[in-house]
Structure 1
């Protein structure tokens, strides 16, 4: 009987690991295909059977991509816009979420509900008003135009608010009785305990801005202001597309996201689990 149970458990583990291995291969293969494509010429991308071995065109594709879009400038634009956006959007999200979670004022829940309902508005519906606003103030083709319109990100505020709700209000009252001001309480007491939530929100904000395509495409007019999504879109021609260059560009654009996530991975998991439990 015991031997039968052990056998079932063993086969169960083997089946689980086999299933997980299949999902792992399915998940990793697109990244492997991307890397292989970046080392091969465009004509080898769709051969039959497909080319699954890295080639010798890595430097050629890299040099061609640099000549076409200017990797250094595009990388700087994307890193500068995404990095500054994360910092500023975190300030907006954290302060707004703290106000919704810990301050009592008339209509708080109604305002927050309306705020969440704004997430249902199609993003494309806001492009024309945003474009007209930026054009009226001569802000098109500037970093301000790329960063400012998305600073108030509803999901980030919602995620932060869920974590702030679990913070003990008694600690805030004790700090107020000791004479601490609201700004000091927020900076010295509340925020240090919210590092996992801040890390999780940072990853969402960074990925959102890094992959943002539609608004930069509308707001940018010159090639020297291109971010990675806009620059990569120019690689697709009407009659011919160099897929070696495109795969190289996608590979380079993926690296910062992976690094950012891996650095904050531990805090990200803690922040998401904390938000779910709280």
Structure 2
């Protein structure tokens, strides 16, 4: 991918795997063909907002399901987990109709609301909350801490690795999301990076050098996030608590 981004389209089609000298030309053509600055800004804005809100909501839900445990919550959790079996395409058209009537097309709310809370993240935080010492909660209650302060001041710092893993997964899914933004973002000013990459393959002729440069730009943010958080990601997935 990196080498192809520096070659011409003909070189890419010939299978050249060594760096070329066409990088600047590909950059010039890409920025002339697509509004990369707007797409990058939109992708970062949507992904960051979705990640932050999703972490708070899903961690609160997972914490509540485990710490305040009863049979009724188990039934609700089972229903939530059943939602993982419903494909998104089955709910996409009703969601679009609802959001269109609400006036949320081409908006951040329209992008983040369908995935602001996912069964997988709720289950992940619930499993992590099972390893959270209940003695700490009881001691904090005796010291006069409210339930919300126990969550923010004690649970969240203890579960840093779980939050890192959840943040990596959520950010990567939000950044790479293509189908829902394609449906809900009807304005050219609301385009995201995956939509830009898809747009470059349309038409009679595809410039593969320029296309691979766009793919490289689209890949870098998620790769950087993963490599920066890979240790915490591994710990969070395995349920490690320090």
State the TM bucket, normalised to the shorter chain. Answer: over 0.9
Which residue is equivalent to 2:158? 193
Which residue is equivalent to 1:248? 213
C-alpha separation in 2, matches of 1:117 and 1:93: 16
Larger Rg: 1
RMSD of aligned residue pairs (Cα, Å): 1.3
Which of 210, 217, 221 in structure 1 is aligned with 2:182? 217
- What does 1:135-154 align with in structure 2 at a 5 Å threshold? 135-154=100-119
Structure 2, unaligned runs of 5 or more:
none
C-alpha separation in 2, matches of 1:110 and 1:223: 44
Q: Could you say which structure has the greater relative contact order, defined with CA pairs below 8 angstroms and 6 or more residues apart?
A: 2
Q: Give a deviation string over 1:90-116, Cα, whole Å, max 9, x none.
A: 011110000111013451111101101
Q: Give a deviation string over 1:195-216, Cα, whole Å, max 9, x none.
A: 0000000000001101100000
Q: Secondary structure at the match of 1:46?
A: helix
Q: Give a deviation string over 1:45-75, Cα, whole Å, max 9, x none.
A: 121xx21111111011111111111111111
Which residue is equivalent to 2:3? 36
Q: Secondary structure at the match of 1:45?
A: helix
C-alpha separation in 2, matches of 1:129 and 1:238: 31
Q: Between Structure 1 and Structure 2, how many residues are aligned?
A: 241
Matched, 1:227 2:196: no
Which residue is equivalent to 2:128? 163
Which residue is equivalent to 1:21? none
Matched, 1:180 2:122: no
- After TM superposition, the structure 1 stretch with the greater mean CA deviation from structure 2, 137-146 or 202-211, is 137-146
Q: Secondary structure at the match of 1:53?
A: coil
Q: Give a deviation string over 1:221-277, Cα, whole Å, max 9, x none.
A: 1221111111111111242111111100000011101111111112111111226x9
Q: Secondary structure at the match of 1:160?
A: helix
C-alpha separation in 2, matches of 1:154 and 1:204: 13
Which of 226, 239, 242 in structure 2 is aligned with 1:274? 239
C-alpha separation in 1, matches of 2:49 and 2:203: 35
Q: Secondary structure at the match of 1:234?
A: helix
Which residue is equivalent to 2:57? 92
Q: Secondary structure at the match of 1:35?
A: coil
Which of 11, 14, 32 in structure 2 is aligned with 1:67? 32
Give TM-score scaled by structure 2 length: 0.96
